[in-house]
């Protein structure tokens, strides 16, 4: 029927990034097995599931650092499965790492600048031909990096080597770094794991700010309280598969979800 077709099309169009039936095998281990997920424009979608469920592997597939054994990744309606991570960053897809690994001897400011490499200084020919323009771009990049350090309250540390940062400060630096490339879509892998309660509140507020400024966000987070505050919709992954989906409160009392978490503890 015409109307049914139209509504199906609308749903597809509303998704900014999507994994369709993706599988990732590492030798004999199926880390992700036939998983589908779609992030809709403007939402904060929670991705939860027990340790080892395949959440980070799914992020690697979405961001392009892994190529799926089977299935497809779609961004803005286009199949981008064959594209590498840099191309996906240039398309507006940003991701943070669960365990940030800043360049420890580079300064905090320099680390943020590495997040914008796709933009400035990369085109060798224009560097030769237009050195003035490159210098201007670099000044603009430094201004932008400083504004982002201000956004995550790390300005006072901009000249320090990243190795002096605490675990929580590394999470903040990671956020600033990924924002350097102006992503429309953010994949945040446990951005608040292991931080103190004050910093947790700060990170929640920043995630809300980023969403309010128009970014669509896919968030891996274990703290269901945080998920309930940030997300109207949650996808549960277990053993590499889509297990459940819905409002946080409904998902939290789903017997299949409870069982998956109990299995994790046992
Ligand atoms: N590069 C890899 N090589 C082999 N096994 C991996 C690799 N990455 C992840 N795995 C395995 O895949 C499974 C899912 O891991 P992961 O995606 O990190 O789960 P989660 O983020 O949900 O905790 C785990 O069993 C993990 O050991
Ligand atoms: Mg993980």
Q: Which residues pair with 155 in a beta bridge?
A: none
On the question of pLDDT at 6 being above 80, the answer is: no
Residues 34-72 have pLDDT tens digits of 999 999 999 999 999 999 999 999 999 999 999 999 999
On the question of pLDDT at 185 being above 60, the answer is: yes
Atom 25 of ligand 1, residue of closest alpha carbon = 52
CA–CA–CA angle 95, 52, 201 (5° rounding) = 50
Residues 116-174 have pLDDT tens digits of 865 544 555 555 666 676 677 788 999 999 999 999 999 999 999 999 999 999 999 99
As to burial, measured by CB atoms within 10 angstroms (0-12 exposed, 13-18 middle, 19+ buried), residue 127 is: middle
Among all bound ligands, the one having the nearest atom to the CA of 48 is: 1
Among all bound ligands, the one having the nearest atom to the CA of 31 is: 1
On the question of pLDDT at 246 being above 90, the answer is: yes
Spell out the alpha helix ranges (H) of 101-223. Answer: 108-114, 124-129, 131-151, 167-179, 197-212
User: Which of 19, 29, 96, 260, when mutated, tests ligand 1's pocket best, judged by the most ligand atoms within 8 Å of its CB?
Assistant: 29
The full length of the chain comes to 266
- Domains and their CATH numbers in the chain: 16-265 (3.40.50.300)
End-to-end CA distance of the chain: 49
Comparing 129 with 111, the larger pLDDT belongs to 111
């Amino acid at each position: 029927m015409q109307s049914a077709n139209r509504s199906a099309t609308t749903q597809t169009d509303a998704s900014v990034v999507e994994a369709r039936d993706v599988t990732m095998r590492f030798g004999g281990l199926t880390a992700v097995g036939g998983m589908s997920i779609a992030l809709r424009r403007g939402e904060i979608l929670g991705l939860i599931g027990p340790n080892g469920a395949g959440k980070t592997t799914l992020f690697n597939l979405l961001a392009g650092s892994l190529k799926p054994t089977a299935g497809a990744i779609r961004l803005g309606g286009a199949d981008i499965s064959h594209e590498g991570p840099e191309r996906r960053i240039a398309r507006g897809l940003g991701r943070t790492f669960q365990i940030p690994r800043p360049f420890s001897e580079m300064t905090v400011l320099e680390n943020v600048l590495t997040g914008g490499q796709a933009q400035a200084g990369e085109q060798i020919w224009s560097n030769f031909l237009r050195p003035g323009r490159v210098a201007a771009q670099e000044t603009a990049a430094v201004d932008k990096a400083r504004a982002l350090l201000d956004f995550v309250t790390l300005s006072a540390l901009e000249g320090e080597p990243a190795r002096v940062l605490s675990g929580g400060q590394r999470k903040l630096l990671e956020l600033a770094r990924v924002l350097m490339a102006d992503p429309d879509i953010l994949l945040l892998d446990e951005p608040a794991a292991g931080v103190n309660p004050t910093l947790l509140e700060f990170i929640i507020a920043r995630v809300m700010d980023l969403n309010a400024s128009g970014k669509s966000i896919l968030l891996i987070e274990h703290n269901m309280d945080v998920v309930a505050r940030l997300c109207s919709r949650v996808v549960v992954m277990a053993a590499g598969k889509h297990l459940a989906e819905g409002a946080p409160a409904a998902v939290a009392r789903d017997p299949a979800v409870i069982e998956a978490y109990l299995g994790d503890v046992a």
